[in-house]
Structure 1
């Protein structure tokens, strides 16, 4: 006997014209070019790249001119130059956890980024109005504080819209924009300062920050990875098919109240994806219940009705689950503290590698202009041009990210550490402009090869653990990077003033060599294990 479906009021939403009209309206919005453009991952990646580009232009503009401003205009010392460079990192370090916690707590990325860009424009204008050393320090701290939004929120945006297996390439491409900004910054800053006056480079950077603010306004807040059984734009057909299978099952077998309600909620989720997680939870619970009953019927000889229904229901549940390819741990992220994230050994190694690479690179920035002026009489424009040699190799960040995804993040980073150590030692030797090019190029290549794989490596840990903490993880990266940018220039300024450029580079090189075995202990041990295994295999074959 065919059991009729209940005709209660609760069943009306399945066929209601209001639901159909809403679904049609949403489908029309989905097809809108403007709607798709504002929400496309490509648009998000472009805006993040623009934000990092702007931040690094602003940072790079002052590299060739701050030493001249402090030394020539204010009568400062190399130590004061190093402190002024470090103030950017102090502001970045202070603002990064604030932006990260707000972003993950309120699940909003755009507003903090917009506030950061406005703050960057205001702080940069403050540079052009500065008349003494302490005003420069305040403006530099303001720049760093604004930069915390670009790095922390920007990287969190990428993790929101791109899958982990593609994140290395995307971040590599984004870091290329960052490299281009840092490459153009010193050159543009030196030229504008030397030929158009003190305020020109800062006004240029403020205008760039305002333009980036408008780009951030353009994109929509991305949808977070809380997808469940149904995705409105891609999986409406799959969900509808699953519902039809469930309804067909109910017309043949005796339905339960729980099943009817589950089908109603699945139908409602087609037009309202906010119910998706609830559907998934009910579906998994119901499937476990069916499998348990099916096992009991098979061992106890129960009637075939429940067994057949269980098989059909399981098929429909599988269709519903197939509508979403995301892992369950991404559907419901686990809230974790920044301390718990930092306690993970893989992330700890990433942070230590970041500290070493960034402190050495940032330590070169305040002292190389002073050394070039002292050794070769170089001005801001010439210093900006010579910095291109160190920054140009970072344009290959996308390729580095691609090979890191294929070979392994830590193995590529270990290669970068070796290159970086050789380049740091060799920088103490050149005596002419041309002889600086190769060591600086290796220096930039080593730094980029170390840092680029670390970001997707950290994202991979977050994804595998099922944590809801992309922004917190990148905040830790930013805080470490900021700390290194504070320590590096100050340390370099003191060593340079007391011992000279040669000893500064030698001490930095020793720091890299000492830190490498600690950071890459697991990878080095694995390489030796593979080598020993290959050696034993070869001996066994020869025997």
Structure 2
């Protein structure tokens, strides 16, 4: 079995990335893998050219097959999009069936269904929140992004198996903890891979496109999960989930991250130089020209020399270890973090209340409850990239203020939802679709704003940050806040729905969106302070 596992590792091209990660902390394991590689070469089961081409060797002197397209920007973005899509797809796959699964498989009484649904959703978010800071810190230290990227897939595999086969609440909660770990790994490392591939130029369009594509997970998984569970039960869900995981695994095995691509290029250009990773990883992480960043903000182009972005060198040691901490004193940065929290809270509230409302008001099955997510997902998918381009063109302020103001009005209209026949169901689905327009609008501004602020800080404080930009820490923080919102949303919405009713619950969420719109108007998209000659 051990030999089979080693052969399996050797069969994939990015094994070199994981081996780099293992070699630092687990040299005995690395020696065992290396000796196994030698024996395989001698027996002919894995010829030297194949091992070299697949990248298991650490000298990077020979490029693997398909090197150009595997390290291209479009393939990296596509792979990350699929990884995020898979994570959200498997998360949302079970959302509409949770009430039915808890009742059918665990025989829970109806009075406990809502609290257990909210608890399972909140456990996932709490797990992701807890793991994110550790992952962000480690990801900025290790020499490869690929190792944690693969670990996320393994965690997701274990989570899916436990959730689909578990026969107790404890197992289901453990499955959600593993899925939270996977989300922390994938969303932190995946977004870093994207920004390292495309830079900050057109970041709004890239993020808008990614989140629009990821919205397909929200679009397909609830109705698909409801349909499959209604027709086949757990067996069908198991097949669908692992088919998606297989595609995700193949893409993650093929992609070559920018750091590793640079190592291959450096080795080819200067074969006499020591292999990358033994000195400074041969990574050129100089900041892009300020012109590229200023294209994302309104106003004339200028250099970043504002004192508001200067960081004092006389800070506690922990700030030097975790360099994103001083940025938390920036009100503009904190506002972008708050917008992320509101965005996730809204998403979590929809996930927790739409299926239970469909069951309580209209007596819908898991299939029809899942179909109610279609209007919400379609509008988010169609309009996400468009709003992302608007962020690039007009700045983050305009889009953020408009989208949150719009949501504050539309959510109030959900007070009109009442129990009834098919006409009420159609009206509810249509209003969810209208809400999807606002959800598409709030996808990009917060993450783009935070990325630009960190870029500004890095350009003026390179001696403080070192040669590596703290993108992993930024996206770990973003994932923490997003996870907190996913935990807060179901609990807040579920509790308000039970105490004051569904309509009044949406009035409270509308008020939160109004506060987000005011903060966006005051702080978001402030641009840069200009030099006074």
| TM-score between both structures, scaled by the size of structure 1 | 0.70
Aligned to 2:442: 450
Aligned to 2:430: 438
Structure 1, gaps ≥5 residues long: 1-25, 237-267, 279-320, 527-543
Deviation, 1:198, is 2.8
Map 1:187-202; keep pairs closer than 5 Å. 187-202=223-238
* 3-state DSSP of counterpart to 2:95: coil
Matched length = 418
1:503 equivalenced with 2:504 (yes/no): yes
Native 8 Å contact 2:403 2:438 kept in 1: yes
Native 8 Å contact 1:99 1:148 kept in 2: yes
Deviation, 1:170, is 1.7
C-alpha distance 339-203 of structure 1, shift in aligned 2 (>3 A): farther
1:109 equivalenced with 2:141 (yes/no): no
Between the aligned partners of 2:290 and 2:262, the Cα distance in structure 1 is: 9
C-alpha distance 345-502 of structure 1, shift in aligned 2 (>3 A): same
1:74 equivalenced with 2:66 (yes/no): no
Structure 2, gaps ≥5 residues long: 1-58, 293-319, 419-423, 459-464, 528-533
C-alpha distance 112-408 of structure 1, shift in aligned 2 (>3 A): same
Between the aligned partners of 1:139 and 1:424, the Cα distance in structure 2 is: 32
Deviation, 1:461, is 1.7
Native 8 Å contact 2:94 2:225 kept in 1: yes
1:90 equivalenced with 2:126 (yes/no): yes
C-alpha distance 513-200 of structure 1, shift in aligned 2 (>3 A): same
Deviation, 1:327, is 4.1
Aligned to 2:454: 462
Between the aligned partners of 1:211 and 1:164, the Cα distance in structure 2 is: 29
Aligned to 2:523: 522
User: Which one has the bigger helix percentage?
Assistant: 1
Aligned to 2:257: 221
Aligned to 2:298: none
CA-based RMSD: 3.3
Aligned to 1:541: none
1:400 equivalenced with 2:387 (yes/no): yes
Aligned to 1:41: 73
Native 8 Å contact 1:338 1:476 kept in 2: no
Deviation, 1:376, is 1.2
Between the aligned partners of 1:368 and 1:522, the Cα distance in structure 2 is: 33
C-alpha distance 514-387 of structure 1, shift in aligned 2 (>3 A): same
Between the aligned partners of 2:474 and 2:135, the Cα distance in structure 1 is: 12
1:165 equivalenced with 2:186 (yes/no): no
Aligned to 1:382: 368
C-alpha distance 99-486 of structure 1, shift in aligned 2 (>3 A): same
C-alpha distance 273-167 of structure 1, shift in aligned 2 (>3 A): farther
Deviation, 1:232, is 6.0
Between the aligned partners of 1:479 and 1:189, the Cα distance in structure 2 is: 27
* 3-state DSSP of counterpart to 1:108: coil
Between the aligned partners of 1:271 and 1:84, the Cα distance in structure 2 is: 52
The structure with the larger Rg is 1
Deviation, 1:177, is 2.0
Between the aligned partners of 1:166 and 1:89, the Cα distance in structure 2 is: 29
CA deviations on 1:88-114 (whole Å, 9 max, x unpaired) are: 101111221222111111132111111
Between the aligned partners of 2:428 and 2:376, the Cα distance in structure 1 is: 9
CA deviations on 1:347-384 (whole Å, 9 max, x unpaired) are: 21111011112212211212221111111111111111
Aligned to 2:340: 354
Between the aligned partners of 1:271 and 1:37, the Cα distance in structure 2 is: 26
Deviation, 1:494, is 1.4
Between the aligned partners of 1:224 and 1:460, the Cα distance in structure 2 is: 25
Native 8 Å contact 2:345 2:489 kept in 1: yes
